[in-house]
Every structure is written in structure tokens, then in C-alpha cells.
Amino acid sequence: MKKLLIQNLVLAIAMAVGASTFAQSPNNATRQRKATAESTPAAATDARPAEASTIVKPSVDKNKDQNKPAEVTANAQTNRTDQASEEAAIVQYYNNFFTTYRLGPEDVISVTVFGQDRYSKQGIKIPPSGRISLALIPDGIFVNGKTVDQVAELIKKRYDEYIIGPQVSVSLDQAGSYRYSVVGDVGQPGIRLMTRRLSVSEAIAEAGGVLQTGNRKKIVVLRKQANGSLAQIPVNLSAIYRGQAPDSIYLVPGDQVIVPGNTLKKLQTIMGFTQVLTFARLFTGGW
């Protein structure tokens, strides 16, 4: 009996030791970790739909965005205003020249009669007589000294005898009768065409600018008056360049810009005379 009790005790201890060893074996731990890892994604997967279901995306009205006008910033509005005012100023600047332009020889104009191509004529060069010929007007139209609007009105009255309600327009294709001259100490003196409104400084710049021997402070514009006399208009180009005087004197047809010489010019003249006198003394056997 005592022996049987000892055997049962030994067997119980052996079973306990075996169970402990199995629980601590690497294979068992691996199986436990694997089972845990496999169960975790399932739980996470189950949780994602629930989280996603709680997110509400705001609805976007595409038509509303398309119909919404673009916002204009204050700077853009200011730029548009400045551009519009600048364009208006430029248009007025050049229109004042061409609307008051008086036609003369060498000018090229075109006459257009709306709906009547056979009565229209392009590229008419005004002769020295100032009289242009048109269809149905054998004696022609005298255009010298008239604006394009005045010429259009004259042609309209003449064509009114042949056409019901004629619509006539006259355009200036090339300005050739307005001329001015720049003489004196400039790079390229001479006579030039005035195809746009020109200030004195612009005219001198187109003539090559003032030379080193030229006097920028005592420039004179000679302008013919109605009584035939010449008026002198002084211009201080140095003051204009320094911003001390406005460039507000504009040329009219027939103006003559004179750029006189300065002290250097006079010195060169005196030196030239000295060389001539020296040569004359040598030639005559002086000294």
C-alpha cells in the first residue's frame, strides 16, 4: 500500500513537470502568437467599416461653382481702370492730330462709297493742284486745306445726284504734306514728314539729337504767322531733360527748329580762322 502511494506521487510529479515544459516550448509560443496575429486583422477589419461609416463628406455643387463669378481683386480693378484711362488719353492724343489734319499735296487718301464699289477709289495721291478726280465727277473735287470729313461731305453732296442716300467715308492713308525742319548742331539736320503729333524734344531726337557743339538752352522754333511774319518760340531743352520744364511745345506744319552752337562751337570757329590766317601769312611771306 505504501509502495502504491509512492508510485502515484511520482506519476503526478512527472505529469506536472511535462505540462510545464509543454507550456514553455517555442512551438507553442509561436502558435499562440500566430493565433493572436490572425485574430487582430479581423478585429481591425471589422472596426474600419464602422469608422468609415461615421465620416460624412460634404456635398459639392458643381453648378454653383461654375456659375459663381470670378472675384476681381482691388489691384486688378485698379489696373483695368488705369489701362482704360491710358487708352483714352492715347486715342485722344492721336485723334486730335488726324481729325484736324488739313490735306495737301503728297497726301494719300481713299474714298469709300458703301455698297458702290465702282464709285470707290483707293490710294489717291493728291497732286500739287489739290484736285482729285472721281467717277461721275469730271471736274474733280478740290481737297487742299480740307479735313477728311469735309472732303467726305463734299463727295456725298455730288453723289447725291446719282445715288440714293450715299454713305461716303474718306480715310487718310499716308500723310505727306505736313513737313518740318531741324537745322543747326544736330546729328541729321534736314526736312522731315510730320506723320504724328511731335514735341520739340521728339523732333530733335528724330534728327539725331543735339551735338556737343550745340546749345540745348537756346533752341528756337520759327513759326510762320498769318500775316507772313515769323514768331520765335524759345525752348530750353536742358531744363526739359532735367524735369524742370514741361515738354509742352508741339510743332505745326512748316515749323523750323534751330539749334545754335555753344561756346565750343565758337572756339572751333575761332581756331579755324586762326589756321586760315596762319596759312595766309605763310603764303604771302609774312612773319
Could you state, in chain order, the average pLDDT of each consecutive group of 10 residues for the chain (287 residues)? 62 60 46 45 43 46 50 55 55 59 91 91 93 89 92 92 90 88 93 87 93 91 89 93 91 91 68 55 52
Burial of 194 (0-12, 13-18, 19+ CB in 10 A): buried
Quote the pLDDT of residue 274. 56
CB atoms within 10 A of CB 245: 14
Question: Nearest 5 degrees, angle CA 173-CA 201-CA 224?
Answer: 70
Burial 36-46 (b: 16+ CB within 10 A, else e): eeeeeeeeeee
Residues near 153 by Cβ (< 8 Å), separated by ≥ 6?
168
C-alpha cell at 42: 479581423
d(CA 201, CA 237): 7
CB atoms within 10 A of CB 203: 21
> CB of 242 within 8 A of CB of 202?
no
pTM of the model: 0.51
